[in-house]
Amino acid sequence: MLGTGLLAAQLVTEVRFDGAAGPVTLAAGESVVVTVVVALSPHADDTVQGQAVDVELVLTASEA
């Protein structure tokens, strides 16, 4: 989840699980590599220079 503000509106995010889109289901003891890519939109202008944004990654586990 991205924060709010000018920079957040200009970011593009992608989350992959072992290279695939989620969600994923794992067996007990199984693991997966989570890759998070956050990129600046090619349409962003100079107004985002020097800006910062909070990024929060929340993973939820549940029993099936």
What pLDDT, on the 0 to 100 scale, is given for residue 16?
93
Q: What is the mean pLDDT of the chain?
A: 86
Task: Say what the pTM is.
Answer: 0.66
Which 3 state secondary structure label does DSSP give 22?
coil
Domain span at residue 63 reads 1-64
Q: How far is CA 59 from the centre of its chain?
A: 11
What pLDDT, on the 0 to 100 scale, is given for residue 55?
80
Q: Is the pLDDT at 17 greater than 80, yes or no?
A: yes
pLDDT range class, residue 60, cuts 50, 70, 90: confident
Q: How far apart are the first and last CA of the chain?
A: 25
- Report the number of distinct structural domains present in the chain: 1
Q: Is the pLDDT at 1 greater than 70, yes or no?
A: no
